[in-house]
A and B are shown apart, each in its own frame.
Chain A
Amino acid sequence: DADVTQTPRNRITKTGKRIMLECSQTKGHDRMYWYRQDPGLGLRLIYYSFDVKDINKGEISDGYSVSRQAQAKFSLSLESAIPNQTALYFCATGPGGMDEQYFGPGTRLTVT
């Protein structure tokens, strides 16, 4: 089984809809991250969490919210989706801020 799983893998939604992307990990790490990738670009950090009670905004948090339900679960929500949120979203986990990160397979989100 994969160390980091994401659901759904693909989603098409309409402008204004609320959508939640879910992430689970079995690595046992405290730190979890949500990234966004646009075509031809690297990853940009949306939110990160160091433990269940510690959630922080990343580089591009506007329009997004997160919930850390347990050490192993970290979900990302778009409260009111807009077309420029169409992107590939990745969840990751790792032992520390400077250490190797383990990525999920990604969720391809299209907002029409």
Chain B
Amino acid sequence: SQQGEEDPQALSIQEGENATMNCSYKTSINNLQWYRQNSGRGLVHLILIRSNEREKHSGRLRVTLDTSKKSSSLLITASRAADTASYFCATDALLDSSYKLIFGSGTRLLVRP
């Protein structure tokens, strides 16, 4: 079962435009994370936002969290071709008495030069 679901599944934009990806989850969380995966490579952590935070920035990344709607968004501003990748949200879930990360199915972002 998946805790997080990203939307859209795929996104194609022109270089320089902003890209927005959304993540919805089902149960209460302690924090939510976003990861990037370049084609066939390992995931790279981008940003972590805690349940008591509403917005967080890191360079060209802006993450928001709305716990009342159980949703988060990742905004990449002034996109570059190098931002082409899949982006995953991950939420913590209590399973078998310990917390694990549960990953969504991802948004595939294509930034056209």
Contact = CB atoms under 8 A, between A and B. Distances in A.
Contact of B92 (A45, A48, A98): A98
Given A42-B2, A102-B45, A97 B40 contact: no
Given A90-B42, A105-B41, A43 B98 contact: no
Contact of B40 (A103, A104, A108): A108
Interface stretch (B57-65, B74-82, B101-109): B101-109
Contact of A4 (B31, B42, B92): B42
Contact of B105 (A4, A42, A99): A42
A41 interface: yes
Query: Interface SS of chain B: helix, strand, loop or mixed?
Result: strand
Nearest to B98: A97
Among B4, B98, B105, chain A packs the most CB atoms within 10 A around the CB of: B98
Nearest to A103: B42
Contacts of A96: 99
B99 A100 contact: no
A100 B48 CA distance: 7
B103 A43 contact: yes
Contacts of A43: 43, 88, 103
Contact of B96 (A56, A102, A103, A105): A56
Contacts of B96: 56
B33 interface: yes
Interface of A: 4, 35, 40-45, 48, 50, 56, 58, 88, 90, 92, 96-106, 108
13 contacts: A41-B106, A42-B2, A42-B103, A44-B103, A45-B100, A56-B96, A97-B99, A98-B31, A98-B101, A101-B45, A103-B42, A103-B44, A105-B42
